[in-house]
Amino acid sequence: MRLRNIPGAEAALREYPTFVDNPLSYKGSWKERFGNDNPIHVEIGCGKGRFINTLAQRHPDINFIAVELKAEVVLRALQRTEYKPIPNLAFVQFDASKLTELFADHEIVRIYLNFSDPWPKTRHAKRRLTHPRFLNNYRQVLAEDGEIHLKTDNEKLFEFSLNQFAAERFQMRNITFDLHQSKLAEENVMTEYEERFSSRGQRIYRVEASCIIK
Residues with a known catalytic role: 117
Alpha helices for 59-110 (secondary structure H): 71-78, 99-102
106 SS3 class: coil
| 40-44 and 171-176 strand pairing | unpaired
Q: Which residues have CB under 8 Å from 85's CB, separation 6+?
A: 17, 18
**Binding-site residue ranges for S-adenosyl-L-methionine:** 43, 68, 95, 117
Is the four-CA dihedral 106, 116, 124, 2 of positive or negative sign? negative
**Binding-site residue ranges for substrate:** 121, 153, 191-194
- Cβ atoms within 10 Å of 68's Cβ, excluding its own: 24
Q: Which residues have CB under 8 Å from 204's CB, separation 6+?
A: 151, 152, 153, 178, 179, 180, 194, 197, 198
Torsion of the alpha carbons at 172, 128, 141 and 31, rounded to the nearest 10: -100
**Binding-site residue ranges:** 43, 68, 95, 117, 121, 153, 191-194
